[in-house]
Amino acid sequence: MKQLLFFIAGVATLALLVSGEVKAQSFEFPQLPYAYNALEPNIDAQTMEIHYTRHHKAYYNNFVKAADELSLAGLSLEEIFANVSKYPVTVRNNGGGYYNHMLFWEILSPNSTGKPTEMVQKAIEASFGSFQSFKEAFEGAAKSQFGSGWAWLSVGVDGKLFVSSTANQDNPLMDVVAQRGKPILMIDVWEHAYYLKYQNKRADYVTNFWNIVNWSKVEELYKKAHN
């Protein structure tokens, strides 16, 4: 029975490979991992719904269209970002928008513990001296990003953590940013992420962000970044 199941799975995989569907499936639009109102009162339901169904979906649709035209389906997003300067700017903007939001939804949770896991705490202390120093650096990057963009905590090539900010939909995986690394925590500071609830008070949105961080996901990304 077991052998038969393996055989069927093998034939199915081969059929998908031949039809090219595996490649087409490589750029999926994932489900939001919680309800639109799950992050209230920190992020309101209407903002979440518009952010996910319109902004994120539009980046995804535009990226898939560009990826199709440029035959990028065989590449991973990481591979594309590593050479993003060589592609039309629509790949940078929409590929970034697609990927950044995907990661952002995952590092948020309605069940945040409110503090980092032991492993992440130690890594932060090793790189920044203390959690408070890291928090100040991250908040500073988020608040001072002029116009639209993101603030990031990433694992650098030396294995140490660093904080950075990027404009528009750029991210630390791209070959166009000043400091490259693998992102493990990020905040979207585009006005579309907070304006309905917070209006011009980006600082309040950034402060409340800490209430909804999914630290176990951050740890997962941290471990993955070292592989």
In the complex with Fe ion, which residue's Cβ is closer, 116 or 183? 183
CA distance 106 to 22: 23
Please give the helix or strand (H or E) that residue 21 lies within, else none.
helix 21-24
Q: Which residues contact 180 (CB under 8 A, 6 or more apart)?
A: 156, 157, 172, 173, 174
Give me the residue whose beta carbon is nearest to Fe ion. 188
Q: Smaller CB distance to Fe ion: residue 120 or 212?
A: 212
Q: How far apart are CA 101 and CA 186, in angstroms?
A: 9
Number of C-beta neighbours around residue 43 at 10 A: 25
The smaller minimum CB distance to Fe ion, of residues 101 and 180, is found at 101
**Which span (77-85, 109-117, 142-150, 190-198) binds Fe ion, by CB under 5 A?**
190-198
Backbone φ and ψ for 79, nearest 5 degrees, come out as -65, -40
Choose the stretch contacting Fe ion; rule: CB under 5 A; options: 110-118, 185-193, 198-206, 208-216. 185-193
Cis before 116? omega within 30 = no
Q: Which residues are CB-contacts of 146 (< 8 A; sequence separation ≥ 6)?
A: 167
Give the DSSP letter of residue 49: H
**Part of the chain binding Fe ion (CB under 5 A), chosen from 140-148, 186-194, 196-204, 212-220:** 186-194
Pick one of 190, 194, 198, 209: the residue that binds Fe ion (CB under 5 A).
190
Total residues contacting Fe ion (rule CB under 5 A)?
3
Cα 126 vs. chain centroid, distance in angstroms? 24
Q: How far is the CB of 128 from Fe ion (least distance, A)?
A: 26
CB closer to Fe ion, 63 vs 190:
190
Whichever of 96 and 181 has its CB closer to Fe ion, that residue is 96
Which among 125, 105, 126, 106 has a CA at the least distance from the CA of 115? 125
Q: For Fe ion, which residue of 81, 138, 182, 188 counts as binding (CB under 5 A)?
A: 188
Closest to Fe ion by CB, 125 vs 191, is 191
Tell me if residue 113 falls in helix, strand or coil.
coil
Q: Could you tell me the sign of the dihedral formed by the alpha carbons of 152, 94, 199, 144, in that order?
A: positive
Minimum Å gap between C-beta 3 and Fe ion is: 48
- Nearest distance from C-beta of residue 146 to Fe ion, angstroms: 16
- Does position 99 interact with Fe ion (CB under 5 A)? The reply is no
| Stretch of residues binding Fe ion (CB under 5 A), selected from 27-35, 60-68, 183-191, 219-227 | 183-191
Least separation, in Å, of the C-beta of 64 and Fe ion? 18
Q: Which amino acid would we find at residue 171?
A: N
Residues at the contact surface with Fe ion, assessed by CB under 5 A:
188, 190, 193
